[in-house]
A = this chain, B = another copy of it.
C-alpha cells in the first residue's frame, strides 16, 4: 500500500526530494472536471508522461477504486515510449470509479542496471555491492515475515563478500527485483494531484437498438386511440426485429388550450388528440398518465411484459407545460410572468407556440423547481422505468442536468439518460460530459463518404469517445431526411446498415422506418 507523505504545495513545503513528475494524463476530460464513461466489464487504459531528472530508473502504478471501496488497487505502469507509461484496469461494478497515478524513483533498479554494466566491464564492484546491501537492508526494514528474512539473508551475504560470483548472480536475479519492488521506498513518491472519475453504466448504455413508437398509435384498428394493452400486443413484433429499447414519447395528459391539430396544423379542433409534448391537463401533469392510454397498473404491467420479451421501456422527459398543467395554477412562480399578468408562452420570434409554457429556470424558486423535476424522474423510476430520453436538454441549464443526473445515478446507477439535443457541437458535448449516458448525433445529416469519415473520426478518435456515446437515429417524428424521402428502399437499407455498424447504438421511429415511409 503506497502511503506517500502529502505534498503541501500550497504552503510552499514541498519536499525537494520528491523528484518524479506526472503530467499529460489521459483520459482526463477538461482537466479532470468531468468523468469518462465505461460500461461494466470494459477496461480503462490510462497513460501519462512520467519522468524524473537525471538517469534514475522510475516505477509507478495506476491506482483505482470503486466509490464504495476505501482502498486503492494498484496496477504497475509499463513503459511505452518517449517517457510515456501505461496501465489499464477493468471496471466491474456500476457507479463511480476513481483513478490516479503514483510514481517514484526506483534506486534499486538503477543500481541493478549499473551493476550489470560494471560486471560486464569487469570493474571492481566491492563498494557497489555495499551500496546495494544498504538498499536491501533498508527494504528489509519495510518488509516483514519471509520477505524480510530473505532480504536480510541476501544483505548479509553481500556484506561478507563471500562467494562473489554467487552473490552477484543473486542480486541481479528477478527474485530480488520483485522482492525489492514489493517493499519499495515510498517516502518521496509523487501522487498525481487529481483523482479522475469513471462513470460505469450497465451494459445497455454501451450498445442497443431503439424503437420509437407512439403508444396511442399501437391500436390495431385504424382511428382508435391506442392503449398500453394494445402496446403489449405489439411487443413480439418489435422484439422480433431485434430491438432492445422501446421508447415512448410523453404518455401524460395533453393540454387543451391552443391544442394543435394533425400534421402540423397550428389550430386543432377540441377532439384533436394534440401533441404529447404539450404536457399537462386537468387530469394531471408529468407524473400522470393520459387516461386514454390506461392506468398506472397497465403501464407497470406493460413494463413487465416488455421485459419478458427482452425489451426495456424508455420514457420521454420533456420539461415543459401546457397552459392547463397543474403547475401553472399551483406554481405560477415557476413560469415567466409577463407585465400584463399572463404567462410567457414559448416563442421563436416572430413564431409563437402558445400551447407550450417553458419553465423558468431563472425563477427565484429555482431550487424548488429542480427538486420537483427530480421527483418526476424518481416517480417513473418507482414505476420501473430505467431509461429516459430527454427532450431538448439544451434549453435547460447545464447545471440543472448535472445535478439531476448526478443525484439520480447516485441512488440508481442503472438509470440511463439519452440527450435529444440537436444543436451546436460544443453544447452537445457539454451535455455528454456533464452526465448524459447517450446522445443524439448529426448522423442523419452526414451522407457523403467525406462527411461520415470526418464525423466518425471526431466521435471515435478524439477525447470525445471518452464521454460522448452516439446513438444514431435514422428518423424521428420530426426528422425525415431528404435522402430518405427521395432514395427509396436502397437508401433505407444502406443507411440502416451504416447506423448499425458505425455505432453501437441506433434508433428508428417506427413503424414509419421499417415500412420505409418516405412522405414528409
Contact = CB atoms under 8 A, between A and B. Distances in A.
Contacts of A121: 349-350
Contacts of A120: 350
A130 B339 contact: yes
Nearest to A122: B350
A520 interface: no
B32 A424 contact: no
Contact of A338 (B16, B83, B131): B131
B54 A394 contact: yes
Interface in A39-77: 49, 51-55
A430 interface: yes
Interface stretch (A17-25, A272-280, A435-443): A17-25
Contacts of A32: 31
B399 A19 contact: yes
Contact of A23 (B24, B30, B54): B30
Task: Report whether over half of chain A's contact residues are helix, strand or loop; otherwise say mixed.
Answer: mixed
Contacts of A367: 16
A6 to B, nearest CB: 15
Contact of A114 (B51, B347, B400): B347
Interface in A408-457: 424-427, 430
Contacts of A14: 399, 403
Contacts of A425: 82
A118 interface: yes
B82 A424 contact: yes
A30 B24 CA distance: 7
A501 interface: no
Nearest to A31: B31
Of listed A14, A53, A120, residue having the most chain B CB within 10 A: A53
Contacts of A15: 366
B362 A424 contact: no
A263 interface: no
A399 B398 CA distance: 39
Contacts of A403: 14, 16
Contact of A366 (B17, B23, B130, B370): B17
B349 A114 contact: yes
Given A23-B30, A55-B395, A114-B349, 9 more contacts: A16-B397, A23-B426, A31-B31, A53-B394, A83-B424, A117-B350, A121-B349, A127-B338, A188-B362
Interface of A: 14-19, 21, 23-24, 30-32, 49, 51-55, 82-83, 114, 117-118, 120-121, 123, 126-127, 130-131, 133-134, 188, 338-340, 342, 347-350, 361-362, 366-367, 370, 394-400, 403, 424-427, 430
11 contacts: A16-B366, A19-B399, A51-B430, A52-B397, A53-B397, A53-B398, A114-B347, A121-B349, A123-B349, A130-B338, A133-B339
The 8 closest A-B pairs by CB, nearest first: A31-B31, A121-B350, A130-B339, A117-B349, A16-B366, A114-B349, A83-B426, A54-B395
